[in-house]
Chains A and B, each alone.
Chain A
């Protein structure tokens, strides 16, 4: 049995090998390794981690910070939670390496309040790492200091957006900051900050321990390494499945997930959380890869896959996307603040059969305004589920209208 909170168990299974090598390499060499690994931000944006770290490393400031985004709020995602509960030292080691790479001595893990066990596990592991000399002064016997604290969110989805997470960490309302300035230049408390997802940090120890090439050998195209994919929703074999990029959506849903739990045909799959696009079976040949999904107006996001069978009403799913945005909008930018509410209302009008064609056109216009006008990905990505539902499942929007018109 492995005790996830035991430092000894972690070390017995190769833990802190990455940090040991990192300490021997020094900042520049670590940056080279991380960049060469091809690791991209696992929170969803897919920004190359090496470049982000390098920006912070080169920024001049009296203090720098490492922040771990563990505000895992996407529907059907649980990879962060499983890592924090089951392998908390992996995150700590990844953050510690980040700290010594960029010259930060303090890190925060921002965990959503709905994850009490993860909070407890992380706190226990931090305490153990401190006791073991892996956090605090002179980590791992080096001259470098690094320490961590857990901060717990207050139930706002938007605080998973990195800039509102920073606002929240600073004790303010969780509203999105405009970028630029980037957090790498002007982050937590105005200082250069590395902010990465749990999964990104968790990938770091392997990359350092085994070398960039060992990691980059996995994957396809510009998506290197592996991704913990979360299968959820109406699926027979739900759970976490870590695999290299390149596996197709169909393989994931049908072969690994075993189709729907209800046994009915799979009709739609939402990839990448509540702001991800709905893909029909026709797109099941899409390989799991940032660029391949983007090319088909989708996103892989945080690797969450939610499966729906043929009983799904895609109008309601489109409406739900807008409603989710309306509930979770921070309210700063206009397209998201007002647009999401108007989106719900307009889709409801479509559902009631009111001026269906005009209102569908209005929803499409609204999606354009939100997609290109919103300040952050919440308002900006809400159009993905809405437009994909309209594009791939148009029949759901016309059907009631047709029946009503027929009834006249």
Chain B
């Protein structure tokens, strides 16, 4: 195994289909029109010296190393900025060019430290490489001249010199090593789209500057790492590289944070991760990353990580470290005991959207075949279950219709109830790039999100009141239908016409007009009409949505309304359009695909179907229960009621992430065996009897499926620190319960999945290794996968229009609870924060804050930073206020990353009518000044401390 060196072609790939042939150094090269001479030469295997060019950003032409000579043309043009033309004869190495390049390098090195041996970039420095490439042997200018290298010059302070900026927790900025190639500045602009960096000064004074000469941490930098990756010297360097040294081998794997599914090279030294570098061949991320995937992997080594199995009789007891075998037999005995006492259906389990497909598959197999019931559910219940329902109903598949590349062909982007800049940052960067090229953006969100405020992006923002999605969607449809913007040809060909007519008649009713619904939604009817017109007539229209759509009492209805909009405008079935749920967790798509829902076997096939069940029964050699099992909320209710007494929870913190925390506490406390399988003693573990330590994504093999249905490999780069990979733990537990599952490697599990699941029929590890990734369906019809779905027609046959009547949620504001709380995420933290809180990411977001409009704050005497009490009908908590007009008057907003805030103490039991997805996004609350943590928070904290005591195994000896 060696370090994967990706070829840097110097300039981006041209998408042209017209080919151009030229001669470079005597070799004929044929490349697409618009390709640079530099890239064409690289294609021919000739690397022209370069420093300012890199293929992640457009050519800039500043370093002047890549000059070439072209026959018949005067001068020495830069090969990075000169496009190819038919018949050109190019020479990349001549006496004149050699002299020029040496002259340029001599200038560079005259203002650069010569501490190469002790430099952080030693072994990975393009400046050093280029000095070698041009044969620089002498710097005749000496080193006494003006420079940025030394703190003093001629005994005085050197005004050019700047100290190293170490404010960012993950990388350093050493201005003395900067060659002003602007690659970082351009990466920040072109790749990330944040525009946090610039060059300050001019001429010799030019220096990279975060904002107006701020520190990196104090600037607008979002720490995505694009600048560090782009830097050809040690100017921007990962602190881990400075500390450890250069990696010696690397392995391509998939990020375990959000549903974008970025491919990374885990760059290693032995079993130690040196750094994670986004992989350019990753089809989801195309070489980009965010602060979480790039840098926030330190949790895998965090001191709070539990590496030994633990058990206890009662949750009041301290934990006791035991062997794996003891833990398995203790757990198995309890679970079987519960079944004996309360019946076969008294136990169940929850699969994880953080674990691999193979692991998820095994957990549901254990439950269905080993436990003998279908009490399996997954965290998708609380996020995207309405997506599954809504898209299956209208289109016929429970997944997004596009790949992320599709955004490059989009003309109008509608973002609904999602804030990709925070929650799906790499996709957001790709989207923003397209927007800067001129695509239009419509944002439907109660809050003025980071997407609305992106630099050089003009958004049409429809700030609706939380809970009125359906009314807004239907009003958009009203405008499209009543203003005759319907794509009738598409609807007639692809959809059920009579259902369309019924739907069109419904949406056209005056009560659904923007003007009539404005009183509910708070959206300016003129803006809404404009948005509808732009979406219907602006070219390729794509809808991207998130949990702001699904986590409502009418979540499924909104998904259906979105599907209706896409169908009525014909925005389905080709690149650049579609309906795209932005999946929250790395493998939430996969966990749904793998049969994690109580009513569905892998591949979304209903458990009551005899033919399907027969297949599984034959393969698994057991009889399966044809009745769907309990959903998560039903499990809690049954536990409180005394009929559901044992649960196996893999990689999911249900206590923190599920709504109405007090109810979850009551349910967990009532159970007799709670098995938590996780990296950390999470909040749920406070109520657990068995703790099975988990393995991180770096420690196991498997696959994740991202939001675009892309199945990608997760590759083991180190031995599991806890001894066993998660799939092995599930097998161990199953075996102790008398259900033997024999697999030597996760690839065998995938083979079984492929054999049982038509949409996965063509998937194998061999194919994934060969192609890098595939998007399901992957089978005989689409052996290399399916980037865009519903191309020639809908999977279900005819697209189905469904009437979407707006029904207000039962959760309403009133005199006691006059404000609406909605929840969301922040860039640096991930979900319940179990991982990111255990990294340096806390420097950006150390606590959850309540965003409140200045008007509401003033009425309540709340000042910025004050502690406030946040109370709903379900409970109360305290946190600090942030006064901002990002939220409208009447709306407050917070994140749920920190357990000491426990935003879900506040959220209620209301849920989606079709799927029970909780209504996280709307809670009526009151906000009042407070002195500090609530009684509930204090009691919770005390219980958690009590519960986390561990008696080490050694101490018992």
Contact = CB atoms under 8 A, between A and B. Distances in A.
Interface in A321-352: 326-342, 345-346
A158 B203 CA distance: 10
Contacts of A339: 107
Nearest to A375: B61
Given A326-B204, A341-B204, A334 B107 contact: yes
A47 interface: no
Contact of B145 (A329, A334, A342, A365): A342
A213 interface: no
A372 B76 contact: yes
Contacts of A264: none
A210 B614 CA distance: 95
Contacts of A179: 81
B63 A333 contact: yes
B198 A173 contact: yes
Given A338-B107, A372-B96, A373-B76, A173 B64 contact: no
B204 A338 contact: yes
A95 to B, nearest CB: 28
Contact of A365 (B76, B103, B198, B201): B103
Contacts of A75: none
A104 to B, nearest CB: 20
A345 B75 contact: no
A317 interface: no
B99 A342 contact: no
Contacts of B60: 178, 332
Contacts of A334: 62-64, 104, 107-108, 179-180
A221 interface: no
A-side binding surface: helix, strand, loop or mixed? helix
Contacts of B99: 365, 368-369
A333 B146 contact: no
Interface residues of B, number: 38
Contacts of B80: 178
A358 interface: yes
B-side binding surface: helix, strand, loop or mixed? loop
Interface residues of A, number: 36
A337 B145 contact: no
A341 B146 contact: yes
Interface in A297-339: 326-339
Contacts, number: 111
A169 interface: no
A345 B146 contact: yes
Contacts of B206: 331-332, 337
Interface centre among B146, B203, B204 (most CB of A within 10 A): B203
Contact of B64 (A156, A326, A335, A345): A335
Contact of B202 (A331, A333, A368, A373): A331
Contacts of B182: 332
A329 B202 CA distance: 7
Interface string A155-191: 0101000000000000001010011100000000000
A234 interface: no
Nearest to A355: B140
B199 interface: yes
Interface string B680-705: 00000000000000000000000000
A197 interface: no
B204 A366 contact: no
Contacts of A346: 141
A373 B103 contact: yes
Interface centre among A333, A335, A339, A373 (most CB of B within 10 A): A373
A345 B201 contact: no
A340 B61 contact: no
Nearest to B198: A173
A226 interface: no
Contacts of B103: 335, 365-366, 368-369, 373
Interface string B795-810: 0000000000000000
21 contacts: A178-B78, A326-B203, A327-B203, A328-B203, A331-B204, A333-B64, A334-B62, A335-B104, A337-B203, A341-B146, A341-B204, A342-B107, A342-B110, A342-B145, A345-B146, A346-B141, A366-B103, A366-B107, A369-B99, A372-B76, A373-B104
Interface of A: 156, 158, 173, 175, 178-180, 326-342, 345-346, 358, 362, 365-366, 368-369, 372-375
The 10 closest A-B pairs by CB, nearest first: A178-B61, A369-B103, A331-B206, A329-B203, A178-B81, A338-B107, A373-B64, A345-B145, A341-B204, A331-B202
